[in-house]
Amino acid sequence: MVETKSIPESEKWKKEHIFSSEEAWKRSYEEVSTRIDDIKHYQGNITNAKELLTYLTKGEEISQKYSKLYVYAMLSHDEDTRVAESQARLSKVQQLGVKLSSATSFFTPFLLSLDEQTLSTYIKQEEGLQYFEEDLFDTYRYKEHVLSAEQEALLSEMGEALQAPRNTYGMINNADITFGYITNDQGEKERLTRGKYALLSKSSDREKRKEAYKAYYEPYIGLHNTIGSTLSAAVKNNVKLTKLRNYPSALEKALFGDKVPKEVYETLIQAAHKGKEALHAYTKERKKILNVNELRPYDLGVPLVEGVKYDISYDEAYEMMLKALSPLGEDYVSQLKEMKAAGVIDVHETPGKRSGAYNIGVYGVHPYVLLNHRNDLDSLFTLTHEMGHAMHSYYSNKHQPHITAGYSIFVAEVASTVNEVLLMHHLIDHEKDDKKRRYLLHHFIDQFKGTFFTQVMFAEFEKIVHEKAEKEEPLNASAFNEVYEELFGSYHGESLELGDEVKYGWSRIPHFYRPFYVYKYATGYASAIHIADRLLKGDEETKNNYLEFLKSGSSDYPLSLLKRTGVDLEEGEPIRNALNVFSGLVKEFSKE
| Catalytic residue ranges | 386
Contact 251, 556 (CB under 8 A): no
Of 433, 435, 381, the closest CA to residue 589 belongs to: 435
Helix (H, G, I), strand (E, B) or coil at 312: coil
DSSP state of 15: G
The dihedral of CA 208, 210, 216, 219: what is its sign?
Answer: negative
Q: Which helix (H) or strand (E) covers residue 76, if one does?
A: helix 49-79
Residue partners of 86: CB distance under 8 A and separation at least 6: 73, 76, 77, 79, 80
CA distance 274 to 269: 9
Sheet containing 358-360: order of strands: 345-348, 368-373, 358-360
CA distance 333 to 135: 33
Amino acid type, 37: D
DSSP state of 173: I
Helix (H, G, I), strand (E, B) or coil at 190: strand
Helix (H, G, I), strand (E, B) or coil at 496: strand
The dihedral of CA 415, 452, 169, 165: what is its sign?
Answer: positive
CA distance 566 to 541: 10
CA distance 249 to 251: 5
> How would you label 235-268 residue by residue, b for 16+ Cβ within 10 Å and e otherwise?
bbbbbebbeeeebebbbebbbbbbebeeebbebb
Vertex 277: Cα angle to 276 and 278 (nearest 5): 90
What does the DSSP assignment read for 109-131? HHHHHS-HHHHHHHHHH-GGGGG
Q: Which alpha helices (DSSP H) does 291-365 contain, by range? A: 314-324, 330-339
CA distance 134 to 353: 40
Of 377, 393, 417, the closest CA to residue 336 belongs to: 393
Phi, psi (degrees; rounded to nearest 5) at 358: -160, 165
